[in-house]
A and B are shown apart, each in its own frame.
Chain A
Amino acid sequence: NAGVTQTPKFRVLKTGQSMTLLCAQDMNHEYMYWYRQDPGMGLRLIHYSVGEGTTAKGEVPDGYNVSRLKKQNFLLGLESAAPSQTSVYFCASSYGGRGSDTQYFGPGTRLTVL
């Protein structure tokens, strides 16, 4: 049982390049999330999904797109990377959408945009 995994662990991009981050979970969770973590700001929600084939915007969605084609996978895309998107990206999943449900986090992807 691997929990939540993220690919890749590190990535360096040039401004304007595109990339996709992959998140996978093997806990059969319905809800999945993408966060970014910046120094002194905690975690901020980018996008989330309440089930296969659904996505919704979070607090800071601009410049990102997501897809949830399979229940176990949640992809985060950057179409044209900008230096402001330099951050650590975390994926999380939860069984349900109640406020009391625990979110389980992946190990993170450290992205640098030059």
Chain B
Amino acid sequence: AQSVTQLGSHVSVSEGALVLLRCNYSSSVPPYLFWYVQYPNQGLQLLLKYTTGATLVKGINGFEAEFKKSETSFHLTKPSAHMSDAAEYFCAVSGSGSARQLTFGSGTQLTVLP
């Protein structure tokens, strides 16, 4: 079985400040890890994913995430928040099986304050 825990259902940062969204996972097999973003009234859009290789993954819009196996974490960061980053962010995990096993966290709503 696999699961995802996102710490903090709501995170607020000031424009220009560091964004840190936390994600911890559990998986009985080597995981594939994803971050998706959902803007209001829209579908989910892939930000980045970790499959194999380099543990620091760079995504779109200046986001990046680091896979830390020892900590079972895949935290999402961005050095400087922009107003347009306000959205809901979902971490997801899948195992080495089929993609139907994609399991989502409960989401983190990011607010960017002017």
Instruction: Please report A residues at the B interface, Cβ cutoff 8 Å.
Output: 4, 31, 33, 40-45, 48, 50, 56, 58, 90, 92, 94, 96-108
Residue of B nearest to A9 (CB): B41
Q: Given that A42-B90, A96-B99, A97-B98 are known contacts, is A108 also in contact with B42, CB under 8 Å in the complex?
A: yes
User: How many contacts A-B (CB < 8 Å)?
Assistant: 69
Q: Chain B: how many interface residues by the 8 Å CB criterion?
A: 29
The smallest C-beta distance from A112 to any residue of chain B, in angstroms, reads 15
Instruction: Please report B residues at the A interface, Cβ cutoff 8 Å.
Output: 4, 9, 31-32, 34, 36, 41-46, 49, 51-52, 90, 94-102, 104-107
Q: Is the CB of B90 within 8 A of A56?
A: no
Give the distance in Å from the alpha carbon of A4 to the alpha carbon of B31 in the complex: 26
Give the distance in Å from the alpha carbon of A96 to the alpha carbon of B97 in the complex: 11
